[in-house]
Structure 1
Amino acid sequence: MAARVLMPQKTDEVDESLQAMINGFDFALPEEVEQYRKGKEEHPEDADKCFQLLFRRAVADIPLIRKIQSESSGIQRLKKNDILKDGSFLSYKMAEEMINDEINEVRREAEEIKPGEGWPDKIFPQAVQFMNQIAEQQMAAQRKAAEAQMKAMQAARAKAMAQAEAAEAAVKNIEAQVAAKESEEETLRKRK
């Protein structure tokens, strides 16, 4: 006797995310890590330039940190319920360890570049604040563009309505002229 196993079909992005968690955790550090290392190697005495590169690196790390944090409870739940393969759990743990090492390295570098200024504790909160400001600016720009588009649509609609009203008035004028002409012709016929 043969058994037929039906696998559920993917229905949305959440399923794809779940599949990614179950089948493995793909993770790589941002290119800003290497840019910082090259910049520091090329300009070791330029603390401001090195710090700018380090800050960019911290900003680029934020999405990865958020991803690890947001998926942590889901991964733990999947592992607890034996849904997650061991290899997938290990790849997640390696990614988690990699980002923790990255956080610690950025903090060490911040202390090395600007010792005694408290940057190991401030760099990531500042990076989050910077990202939030950028997101707010992007949202404001999108709102402004949407408002401009709405105004343009309203202006186009008003113009179309004015043209329609003008056309309607022109038609009524022509109809009135035709009616007047017909009335005049009828009056002339009656006189004859």
Structure 2
Amino acid sequence: MRGAMRKSSREQFLEIVNAHVQLAKEGKKHDPEMVRVAEKIKDGRLQLADTAYYSIKYGGDKATIHMFETQDAKERGITNVTQAKLPKDRLFLCNRIILLATEFAGDLPQSDFAWKKLKLTADFDSIKKVAGLQNGDFTFMANKKIIVDERSLTDFVTDNDLTVNLGTYYLENPRFIRDDEEFEFMIELGDDAPEKTLIKVMLAGTSTVPA
């Protein structure tokens, strides 16, 4: 199976920080922050935890959809990200992205409360179920630096792939995101999404947390 040999994000995290420790010992170019993180993990001051940062957005009648924005505030069940940044003192290795969507039934909500209730009760499924969505592109950035550049959303159509969870794309080059970096996940479509489109994205991987 394709996923059988895939390394976990925890393994990838430790490989990277430990490689910087070795570079430092050899007097070669390294990232001092990675060395400090490795030392804190070894000393028991930090531990590693499975982590996913998520956001639900209304995408109806839009061709460009920003899933994380600087005006966002943490709201349980809708997003656990504030101002498009990680919580303070976090170092996060993102090694996979999950993208799901749905077209909801009924009329468009007419109040903030109704929108919140809709997002909290939405049943998300494959992006293939929303017309046109799989034919768009996505860009993932952190600190204005590109992590994934205009890649096709068809990568998230995993409906018939039993080796991965629905809507999951594994990064070929897992990337660390620091707590002082703004990150963004942008969807660009050739035409506006259907009027009643909701989209959910999750950035998943491993993060440092206090021990």
Q: Shared fold by TM > 0.5?
A: no
TM-score interval, normalised by the smaller of the two chains: under 0.3
Structure number with higher strand proportion: 2
Provide TM-score, normalisation by structure 1. 0.23
Provide TM-score, normalisation by structure 2. 0.21
Which of structures 1 and 2 has the larger relative contact order (alpha carbons within 8 angstroms, sep 6+)?
Answer: 2
Max Rg structure: 1
